[in-house]
Structure 1
Amino acid sequence: MKEFNTITCSAEENIAIITINRPKYLNALNTEVLQELSEAVDFIAVNKEIRAVVLTGAGEKAFVAGADIAEMQSKNVLEAREFSSLGNRIFSKLENLSIPVIAAVNGFALGGGCELAMACDIRIAGSKAKFGQPEVGLGIMAGFGGTQRLARLVGAGIAKELLYTGEMISADRAYEIGLVNKVVNSVEVQEEAIKMAQMIASKSPLGVSFTKKAINDGVNLDLERALSLEAELFGALFSTDDQTEGMTAFLEKRQAAFKGE
């Protein structure tokens, strides 16, 4: 895969692993990180062999401790708006990738780091991980989707509490409120994320992709239109080789060999 300066991107069979690789700066997000993350997502999007992505941070201290304050401090109104828009475009690109993305959260996931994790489909946290949106303590607000995705994940009331107070919460509390899917021993976070990615990768790529589209698009629709979308996607899968193979394998009592076609 392509070499980057601030991230690494590798593949293990049909699982891609993206690592934010600035441990000296607690993997803080600057413009270069965001642009390289965008390139990595673009590369993965056209690689038909990859069926799931694990996203993590280098080192033991942080997944991503936030956006790079040293870069942000001197921005004017227009530059700050453009920086927010850049982050939102890239996080949305990650969120709308046709394959699932699992965040393996090791350490701090604060500000832009929490927002990056929320742009993933599934979040697995180490027991020592910490989450929060501390922007109000810096005289600003969440700008990479935090005000929107957090409310959608945990409800408006808890989201407002976390965003207004800037409170940092534990992995267990994040699990309680539905911000993370699972909490595991800190040394097992990436292993657990890869294990889940492998389980997903063993299923029908088209079935998984269409399911992701139904969820992501459906949450913005009223129930009647969302159910119509589900029926349309469900029907479309019956024109695929994956559907034929999956049901044939079930009836023949064997493991299906899906090709994503």
Structure 2
Amino acid sequence: MTEQALAVTRRLDTGTYENSGAGYETLLVEERDDRVVVTLHRPEARNAISGRMIDELHSVCDALERHPRLLLLTGHGGVFAGGADIAELLARGRDDALRGINSRLFERVRRLPMPTVAAVDGWALGGGAELSYACDIRIAGPDAVFGNPEPGLGILAAAGASWRLPELVGESVAKQVLLAGRTLDAAAALAAGLVMEVVPADELVERAHAVIDRMARSSATALRLTKLVVDAPGAHPVADDLAQAVLFEGQDKRDRMTRFLEKKASR
């Protein structure tokens, strides 16, 4: 990690970073006690995902791994991300592909300890779509459009879409997007189960915060363990039992259930 990125991570770890812009060129970051809000910010390029943005998102992930909090990810100016930076892709070769520049980051986003929410309006294409697929929950504005036009550029959607999208929407719809070039507008994304809901554009971020507010009221440990179990491959009854055993021994569980029973008894 570069010295500049390390400095950004230290600010995130200490909670002293307040979006001064130091260290970031492609992101806007807002710190809160229980969440981090990240806005993709390359307005001159429809928030296209560049190598610089990848590095900066890695810095954010590093901080969230050290100090787990909920993540809200969105895009600036009514666009989530119009794809990867094509000029950079043109210059990449075999060895760059084998490094998994985008895919390693998106998998890291997927594996963040606490839940992640993508608030998507406007274009979410190519790498932008794949970044949204890596989040746990997606909420869409009315103008959201998801698509993976990579084959038209002579490449494939190699940062998770070819296997993550079928898990999210089913094989048939995924093949329509990945092979036939279909785009999913907000209504189609909702029907396919890709997004949780569609809300007016001016309410999108507020609604995403409301979802995070609801999660923030839950036990942070329970959220972390639930996410681990849900993401575990295959059948995992033993993982269920082990995670539940940890939670059953926690004071948080006893406090929450005691409050529930006391409230019920007082009715």
Equivalent pair of 1:64/1:109 in contact (CA under 8 Å): yes
Structure 1 residue identity aligned to 2:58 = S
Aligned residue among 55, 59, 81 for 1:35: 55
Structure 2 residue identity aligned to 1:7 = L
Tell me whether 1:9 sits opposite 2:32 in the alignment. no
In structure 2, the residue corresponding to 1:189 is in which secondary structure?
helix
Aligned residue among 245, 253, 257 for 1:247: 257
Q: Which residue of 2 aligns with 1:56?
A: 74
Equivalent pair of 1:91/1:119 in contact (CA under 8 Å): yes
Q: Which residue of 1 aligns with 2:95?
A: 78
Aligned residue among 179, 182, 202 for 1:164: 179
Q: Percent identity?
A: 36
Equivalent pair of 1:15/1:194 in contact (CA under 8 Å): no
Q: Which residue of 1 aligns with 2:139?
A: 124
TM-score scaled by structure 2? 0.88
Q: CA deviation digits over 1:85-119, x for unaligned, max 9?
A: 12111111111111000000021001111100010
Q: CA offset at residue 15 of structure 1?
A: 1.9
Aligned residue among 209, 215, 235 for 2:245: 235
Q: Which residue of 1 aligns with 2:223?
A: 208
Q: CA offset at residue 169 of structure 1?
A: 2.0
Structure 2 residue identity aligned to 1:75 = R
In structure 1, the residue corresponding to 2:243 is in which secondary structure?
helix
In structure 1, the residue corresponding to 2:244 is in which secondary structure?
helix
Equivalent pair of 1:72/1:80 in contact (CA under 8 Å): no
Aligned residue among 200, 205, 210 for 1:185: 200
Structure 2 CA distance for aligned equivalents of residues 166 and 68 of structure 1: 19
Q: Which residue of 1 aligns with 2:115?
A: 100
Structure 2 CA distance for aligned equivalents of residues 191 and 185 of structure 1: 10
Structure 1 residue identity aligned to 2:76 = A
Structure 1 CA distance for aligned equivalents of residues 242 and 91 of structure 2: 49
Stretches of structure 1 lacking an aligned partner (at least 5 in a row): 255-261
Structure 2 CA distance for aligned equivalents of residues 165 and 187 of structure 1: 32
When the two chains are superposed, the root-mean-square deviation of aligned CA atoms in Å is 1.4
Q: CA offset at residue 33 of structure 1?
A: 0.4
Q: Which residue of 2 aligns with 1:44?
A: 64
Q: CA offset at residue 69 of structure 1?
A: 0.3
Structure 1 residue identity aligned to 2:243 = L
Q: CA offset at residue 167 of structure 1?
A: 2.0
How many residues were matched structurally? Answer: 244
Q: CA deviation digits over 1:201-223, x for unaligned, max 9?
A: 01110111111111001xx21x3
Structure 1 residue identity aligned to 2:130 = E
Q: CA offset at residue 5 of structure 1?
A: 1.4
Q: CA offset at residue 150 of structure 1?
A: 0.3
Q: CA offset at residue 12 of structure 1?
A: 3.0
Stretches of structure 2 lacking an aligned partner (at least 5 in a row): 1-11
Q: Which residue of 1 aligns with 2:83?
A: 66
Q: CA offset at residue 45 of structure 1?
A: 2.1
In structure 1, the residue corresponding to 2:253 is in which secondary structure?
helix
In structure 2, the residue corresponding to 1:120 is in which secondary structure?
coil
TM-score scaled by structure 1? 0.89
Q: Which residue of 1 aligns with 2:212?
A: 197
In structure 2, the residue corresponding to 1:9 is in which secondary structure?
strand
Equivalent pair of 1:128/1:171 in contact (CA under 8 Å): yes
